[in-house]
């Protein structure tokens, strides 16, 4: 298998694969905003339309125009606004949101929803996108989906499948010329190390955050993550928050997430964190750049 490394004049490219509109703004948004502004071609790929999402902003619950029937179209408009704020390109894969099953036992998944589909078949549009966009880096969720929503778990599965299948010349040649992505990362946004560091800082300042303290009661050492790669996003927190607020139906602007000051985040934990899950190029860990080993100056030094 040949990995095509970027030429000196060629822009670096990445795809960030997410389950629903708003995930791109709550997971890795500082990273994508930073790379866009550094000249990287970044495409967010959203697997579903979020059709079975809930209305999570209490300010909108009395708005007669915001109904469950209208929610899919509203979420598309919100995604377009977040895309504009982040500066990324965007692609819908077109699958139907599976919803978050509740109950004991859990009910079956809705027929035809994203999480119910065969992984190889569901990976096909992602394979086509990878072969057309030719990214050097892919980011996605870990094997538990970051948290166990069936669409997040399915996003992990089709990302891993597409990483392999896009490079296989014998798989679906009608989907384009094979392309081997150099590096695949898991987004490790929700982990105890970060929560604990920020919580300690806030307690020391006398401004504890209820949400963080509740999370830490649930997150023991089993929720630590392997952090191979940490991206400094301290200059991009405003963009991240503006993009998340663009998903107005999905976030409470007065909620505890937005009550953590940027000064506290910068002081306690100013990075977004990743696990390098697969690399087809030599690496040296830990990293501070998803494109470590792929930038032309690095290639020249290695030669």
Tens digits of per-residue pLDDT, 203-251?
Answer: 999 999 988 888 888 887 877 889 999 999 999 999 999 999 999 999 9
Structural domain includes residue 258: yes
Q: Do 106 and 116 reside in the same domain of the chain?
A: yes
Token pair 């040296």 in the structure block, residue: 284
Please indicate, yes or no, whether residues 159 and 248 belong to a single structural domain of this protein.
yes
**Which helix (H) or strand (E) element contains residue 163?**
helix 150-165
Residues 27 and 139 sit within 8 Å (Cβ to Cβ): no
Total domains present in the chain: 2
Q: Which of 91, 99, 43, 90 is nearest to 71 (CA)?
A: 99
pTM for this prediction = 0.95
Instruction: With respect to residue 178, please indicate whether it lies within any of the assigned structural domains.
Output: yes
Is 5 domain-assigned?
no
CATH code at 233?
3.40.50.10320
Q: Are residues 56 and 200 in the same domain?
A: no
Helix (H) or strand (E) segment spanning residue 85: helix 71-86
- Cα–Cα distance, 233 to 271 (Å, whole number): 5
Same-domain status, 106 and 200? no
29 and 56 share a domain? yes
| Shared domain check, 215 and 121 | no
Those residues with Cβ within 8 angstroms of residue 66's Cβ, 6 or more apart along the chain or in another chain = 55, 60, 74, 249
12 and 293 in contact (C-beta within 8 Å)?
A: no
Tell me the per-residue pLDDT of 115-130, one tens digit each, with 9 for 90 and over.
Answer: 999 999 999 999 999 9
pLDDT at 299: 54
Kindly provide the residue ranges of all beta strands, DSSP E only, lying in the chain, ordered along the sequence: 13-18, 41-48, 89-95, 137-140, 183-187, 229-232, 271-279
What pLDDT does residue 303 have? 43
In a domain, 54, yes or no: yes
Question: Both 208 and 251 in a single domain?
Answer: no
User: Quick one: 199 and 232 in the same domain?
Assistant: no
Quick one: 79 and 204 in the same domain?
Answer: no
The answer to whether residue 6 sits within a structural domain is no
One domain for residues 65 and 184: yes
Please check whether residue 52 lies inside any domain of the structure: yes
Residue 1 domain-assigned (yes or no): no
Q: Which of 224, 248, 281 is the last residue of a domain?
A: 224
The pLDDT of residue 218 is 84
pLDDT interval class at 297 (50, 70, 90): low
Verify that 108 and 160 share a domain, yes or no: yes
DSSP SS3 for 144: coil
Residue 139 lies inside a defined structural domain of this protein: yes
Instruction: Show the domain range for 208.
Output: 190-224
């Amino acid at each position: 298998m040949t990995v095509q490394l970027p030429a000196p004049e060629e822009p670096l490219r990445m795809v960030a694969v997410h389950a629903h509109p708003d995930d791109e703004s709550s997971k890795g948004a500082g990273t994508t905003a930073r790379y866009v502004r550094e000249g990287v071609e970044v495409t967010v790929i959203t697997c579903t339309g979020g059709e079975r999402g809930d209305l999570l902003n209490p300010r909108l619950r009395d708005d007669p125009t915001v109904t469950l029937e209208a929610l899919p179209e509203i979420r598309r408009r919100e995604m377009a606004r977040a895309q504009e704020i982040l500066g990324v390109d965007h692609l819908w894969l077109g699958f139907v949101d599976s919803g978050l099953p509740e109950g004991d036992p859990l009910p079956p998944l809705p027929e035809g929803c994203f999480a119910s589909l065969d992984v190889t078949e569901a990976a096909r549009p992602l394979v086509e996108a990878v072969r057309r966009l030719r990214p050097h880096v892919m980011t996605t969720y870990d094997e538990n989906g970051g948290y166990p929503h069936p669409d997040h778990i399915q996003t992990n599965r089709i990302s891993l499948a597409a990483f392999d299948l896009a490079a296989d010349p014998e798989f679906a040649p009608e989907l384009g010329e094979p392309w081997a992505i150099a590096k695949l990362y898991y987004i490790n946004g929700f982990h105890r190390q970060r929560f604990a560091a920020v919580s300690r800082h806030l307690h020391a300042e006398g401004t504890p955050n209820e949400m963080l303290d509740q999370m830490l009661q649930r997150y023991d050492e089993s929720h630590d993550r392997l952090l191979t790669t940490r991206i400094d996003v301290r200059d991009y927190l405003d963009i991240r928050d503006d993009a998340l607020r663009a998903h107005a139906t999905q976030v409470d602007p007065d909620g505890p997430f937005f009550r953590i000051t940027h000064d506290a985040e910068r002081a306690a934990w100013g990075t977004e964190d990743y696990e390098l899950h697969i690399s087809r190029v030599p690496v040296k860990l830990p990293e501070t750049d998803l494109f470590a080993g792929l930038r032309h100056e690095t290639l020249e030094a290695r030669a």
